[in-house]
Amino acid sequence: MSQERRLRILVAKPGLDGHDRGARVIARALRDAGFEVIYTGCHQTPEQIVQTAIQEDVDLIGLSILSGAHNYSFPRIMELLKENGADDITVIGGGIFPLEDIPRLKEIGIKEIFTPGSKLEDIVKWIRENVKPRKMDAA
Amino acid sequence: MSVVEQVLKGDVRAVARLLRDIDDQVPSTRSILQQLYPHTGNAYVIGITGPPGAGKSTLVDQMTAYYRKQGKTVAILAVDPTSPFSGGAILGDRIRMQRHFLDKDVFIRSLATRGHFGGITKSTHDMITVLDAMGKDIIMIETVGVGQGEVEIAECAHTTLVVTVPGLGDDIQAIKAGIMEIGNIFVVNKADREGAKKTVQELRNLLEMGKKFRMETGAGKNGWDPPVVETQAHKGIGVDTLCGEIEKHREYLTAQAPEELEQIMLKRALHQFSATLKDELFKEVIKRMEGKGLKLEDVAKKIMAKEIDPYSLSRTLIKEEFKEDA
């Protein structure tokens, strides 16, 4: 029996930008931290991201976005999670965000936003402190 | 509604959660599996194995498209390796399967090996039970990229595909032992590459040499000759032929060689039973041992310090614990 269940994380890139270097670096850092990371590549629609999160039973979705379309895709993802009864999954974002957008994103339920210059160890630390794996007997 | 009812109804969220609980060995999953077991036996299980980068995920994507066109429902288990150092994993097989994400009749799950050797995960057999019970017609198991000896996939699949690519070495070094013997169908992917014809020819030669052995020992006894199929998975070329060969193998198993099919089912049942029994026995013995104040870690330390050896300790424990019950 495993003492502590392993955290499962979806690293996803919504929208049209193809800059996935950051997402890959994050995925690698999360792997090294001992998490199981599902990486699905670029150009994901909100619908694809939510379906993947459900099928993979993840505890956390990390959205990487550099295109500036976060004000569309992030609310849509939150909406779809709710519609599918999966709003217990924590969602965080990383990438380039105008500072004035951040409070609004947090208002719709994005738990944290990491902007350029964030340290990998800080992201891992935040996850360890704020995301707990789904309870074992919940099924 | 109970988890069992939800699974039988095909509830994706319930299935996804149950699969994780199985992977994490949550004790309550045992009774759920027990209740699902009578509802299984309808799915056709296809194993896809081969070295890393051979194009297994892309093939699975194409085969999924083929089966969906036929109106069949599909489940995919895709295995990637766990880091032996951190215990973490990057599971990236889905990248190749994006076009099926929104199809409600396709269920995809990425799995990490979690220290299990053999190409699949410890939980794969039980997961097949769940996916079968949820009503999927086709279940595809994509193994971790394998070398030579990871043959466990043949114990859960009705049809096993061994996928290779041109240029892996003379006489197909990478697959000549072990997995060479478990393929019901061989696939030379990336067949537009230089050397493809040579790889196909070498494979056919190897299969020809092994023919006598196959005829005498089982697979092949009833006349199944593993075909070699050329594909270019990224363009979808050869996929129809491949799926046609799978269908032929299926027909062969059901019509021509029911005893071979029975052998496959028997092996699977035996594997499932012995794996479960070993697991339960181990847990039971450890529980009783710890009940007497003997911690597993302390025992390991004693073994390391050569105060005791693992062989006699195991025997003593079994003798002591099961004396009265036996």
pLDDT tens for each residue of B27-59: 889 899 999 999 999 999 999 999 888 999 999
- Interchain CB contact of A87 with B (< 8 Å): no
User: Does residue B72 contact residue B35 with C-beta atoms inside 8 Å?
Assistant: no
> How high is the pLDDT of residue A138?
45
Question: Which token pair is A139?
Answer: 């099924």
CA distances from B276 to A14, B46, B269, B312 (A): 41, 23, 11, 24
Percent of chain B past pLDDT 90, that is, above it, reads: 52
> How high is the pLDDT of residue B320?
83
- Interchain CB contact of A79 with B (< 8 Å): no
Q: Which residues partner with B228 through β-bridges?
A: B186
Percent of chain B past pLDDT 70, that is, above it, reads: 94
Q: Which of B12, B26, B89 sits opposite A136 (nearest CB)?
A: B26
User: Does residue B78 contact residue B143 with C-beta atoms inside 8 Å?
Assistant: no
- How many residue contacts between A and B have a Cβ separation below 8 Å? 102
d(CA B208, CA B231): 21
Residues in chain A with CB shorter than 8 Å from the CB of B109 are: 55-56
Residue with tokens 């093939």: B59
Cβ contact, residue pair B87, A134, below 8 Å: no
Q: How many residues does chain B have?
A: 326
Residues in chain B with CB shorter than 8 Å from the CB of A41 are: 92, 94-95, 98
Q: Which domains does chain B have, with CATH numbers?
A: 40-256 (3.40.50.300), 273-322 (no CATH)
Choose from A13, A56, A60 for mutation: most chain B CBs within 10 A.
A56
d(CA A133, CA B143): 26
- Interchain CB contact of B109 with A (< 8 Å): yes
d(CA B4, CA B27): 15
Non-local CB neighbours of B138 within 8 Å, separated by 6+ positions:
B43, B44, B46, B67, B72, B73, B74, B75
Mean pLDDT, residues B189-207 taken together: 90
Burial of B228 (0-12, 13-18, 19+ CB in 10 A): buried
Q: Which residues of B96-110 are buried (b: 16+ CB within 10 A; e: fewer)?
A: bbbebbeeebbbbbb
Task: Considering only CA atoms, give the Rg of chain B.
Answer: 22
Three-state SS at A65: strand
- Interchain CB contact of A115 with B (< 8 Å): no
Cβ contact, residue pair A56, B107, below 8 Å: no
In B256-275, the residues whose Cβ lies within 8 Å of chain A are: none
> How high is the pLDDT of residue B151?
78
Question: Which token pair is A46?
Answer: 């909100």
CA distances from B241 to B157, B185, B186 (A): 20, 11, 12
pLDDT at residue B175 greater than cutoff 60: no
Identify the segments of chain A with pLDDT beneath 50: 1-2, 138-139
Q: Which domains does chain A have, with CATH numbers?
A: 8-128 (3.40.50.280)
- Interchain CB contact of A52 with B (< 8 Å): yes
Q: Which of A1, A45, A55 sits opposite B107 (nearest CB)?
A: A55
Residue with tokens 């270019």: B232
Amino acid identity, position B144 = V
Closest CA to A4 of A132, A139, A127, A138: A132
> How high is the pLDDT of residue A58?
97
- Is the Cα dihedral B211, B216, B217, B222 positive or negative? positive
d(CA A97, CA A115): 7
**H helices within A18-139, ranges in order?**
21-32, 46-55, 70-83, 101-107, 120-130
Q: How far does CA A110 lie from the centroid of its chain? A: 9
- Interchain CB contact of B112 with A (< 8 Å): yes
